[in-house]
Amino acid sequence: MEHLIIKDNELKEMDLLNAMVEEENQSQLKKWGVQEHTPFQWLCYLTEEVGELAQAIAEDFHRERNNKQVYEEAIQVSTLALKIAEMYIVLEDEGNKNEHKRKS
């Protein structure tokens, strides 16, 4: 069996990717609402999504080409990973504001 080699596209499709992430975000908000979880729970959800991406890639490789399933799972992983990054950015910003207040 010949192995598929895929080249990094250097995020040249960022506008499309951003639109897909925003669409997935809206879908998640509609389905689940705004969620609050512990960092460990967020990690568990992200790990679950990565597992689904791995399964999609394995099925794409071993069965039939299903590019759409792979990139849809990748967008779900990306969306959740970005949400986690944003939460930690906000935490850092809040920490910096509190630190500034204590020094004033």
Q: Hey, CA dihedral for 40, 42, 46, 49, is it positive or negative?
A: positive
Question: How far apart are the C-alpha atoms of 49 and 77, rounded to whole Å?
Answer: 6
pLDDT per residue over 11-29, tens digit each? Answer: 999 999 999 999 999 999 9
pLDDT per residue over 63-93, tens digit each? Answer: 877 899 999 999 999 999 999 999 999 999 8
Alpha-carbon Rg for the chain, nearest whole angstrom, is 18
- Percent of all residues in the chain with a pLDDT value above 90, rounded to a whole number: 77
Nearest by Cα to 29 from 93, 80, 96 = 80
pLDDT score of 4: 80
What pTM value is reported for the model?
Answer: 0.87
